[in-house]
Amino acid sequence: MSVRQNRQVRLKSRPSGIPQAEHFEIAAAPPPEPQTGEFVVRNRYLSVDPAMRGWVGAVANYAKPVGLGEVMRARAVGEIVASRHADYRVGDTVVGWLGWQEYALSDGRGIIRRVKETDIPLSAALGVLGMNGVTAYFGLLEVGQPKPGETVVVSTAAGSVGSAVGQIAKLRGCRTVGIAGGAEKTRLCREEFGYDAAIDYKAAADLDAALAAACPGGIDVYFDNTSGAISDAVLRRINKRARIVICGTASLASWDPWPSGPRVERHLLVKSARIEGFLVFDYEDRTEEAVAQLAAWVREGRLRYREDVLDGIEAAPDAIAGLYRGENLGKRLIRLA
C-alpha cells in the first residue's frame, strides 16, 4: 500500500436541524497503517442516509452523536488493502461502519458482513442488500406483519427503503399504495416498483380523498417514513388491528422540543391498533438472513432498486441536505475512484 493521504469528511459544527455542507469539512489525514489485529479498507462506495441527521444532532438519539472533528459516521463498502488481522485478508470485500473517508482502519468491530454476491453490483451492498433493504425487510415483515390481501401504505414510497417495502409487500400478496412527492416518483412507484396505486402528496388537493380512493378497504399496515400531515391522514383510515411501523420522520424539521400533532391514543384504542418504532440496528445479528432473501429476489428480477450515485468525496458534505431537498431518485451513494 502506497497511499499518500486519506481524505476524510469530518463534522465541523453541529447542526440543529438538517446537516448542510457547511457543517462538514474535508481534511487529509496520514494514510492508516494497520497494527497487529487491524486491517485497512479502501472504501469504494460511501452511504448517504436520512438517518445521518440524527447521528450528528446534539440531542440524545439511539446512538452516541458523532463528535466534533470526528470522521462522519457512515456505512461504506470496500476492499481490504492491508491486513494484520487473522480473520480478514487482503482482497476481501467488506461492508461496515467505515466512515466518510477514503481509507478506514478497522479491528473488525465495525464490520457488518463480507460481501459475497459477486453477481450483483457492489453498490447494492449499501442499498437494497444493505441498510435500506434490510430495514424494509425486517421493518415490514417483523413489525408490520402483513398478511395476504391486506392493504399496505408506504410513505416516501419511491425511496430506497420505501421502494423495497412496497415490492416485498407485493411479494407477500398485499395491495400496495405508495405516497411520494412529484409525478416522476409516483410514476416510478407504479411502473418500476409495482405499487397498485400511487399518490402524489404534493399534487393531491385532498390527501384524505386520494387515500380513500386508493384504499377502498381501509389500511392494514402503514410503513411510515415521514410522520407529519401524511401520517395523520393515513391514521384516520386505518382498519381494526392495523400496524403502523415508524421507520423515519422525514417531514419533521426538528424534534426538540417535540412537535405537536393529533393525539393518537383514542384512535389506537378504538381500532385495537399499534404504532411501533423500528431501528434496523436491533436486527444486526440477523443481517445475513435478510440479505440472502433480498439477493435472491434481486436475482429473480422481483426486487428492483434505483441508485443516485455522486462522484468523489467532495460531494459528501452537501449530500444529506440534498436528500432532504428531495433531489435524489433512489439510494444515494458516493463513489470513490
Nearer to a copy of itself, 162 or 194 (CB): 162
Cα separation, 266 vs 246, whole angstroms: 18
CA distance 122 to 258: 39
- Tell me which amino acid residue 70 is: E
Beta bridge partners of residue 78, listed in sequence order: 43, 94
Q: Rule CB under 8 A: which of 59-118 touch a copy of itself?
A: 61-62
282 binds a copy of itself (CB under 8 A): yes
Cα–Cα distance measured from residue 233 to residue 239, given in angstroms and rounded to the nearest whole number: 13
Per DSSP, 54 falls in state H
Among 12, 14, 190, 274, binds a copy of itself (CB under 8 A): 274
What's the rounded Cα separation, in Å, for the pair 137 and 130? Answer: 11
Nearest approach in angstroms of CB 144 to a copy of itself is 12
Relative orientation angle of helices 228-235 and 207-214, to the nearest 10 degrees: 50
Residue from the set 83, 176, 227, 287 that interacts with a copy of itself by CB under 8 A: 227
Asked whether position 275 contacts a copy of itself by CB under 8 A, the answer is yes
Q: Are 335 and 314 contacting, i.e. CB atoms less than 8 angstroms apart?
A: no
> Of 91, 270, 285, 301, which one interacts with a copy of itself (CB under 8 A)?
270
Q: From the CB of 61, what's the least distance to a copy of itself, in Å?
A: 5
Is 319 one of the binding residues for a copy of itself (CB under 8 A)?
A: no
Cβ atoms within 10 Å, residue 159: 28
* Choice from 7, 255, 306, 324 touching a copy of itself (CB under 8 A): 255
Sole binder of a copy of itself in the list 18, 104, 214, 247 (CB under 8 A): 247
State the residues that interact with a copy of itself by CB under 8 A. 54, 61-62, 224, 227, 231, 246-249, 252, 255, 258-279, 282
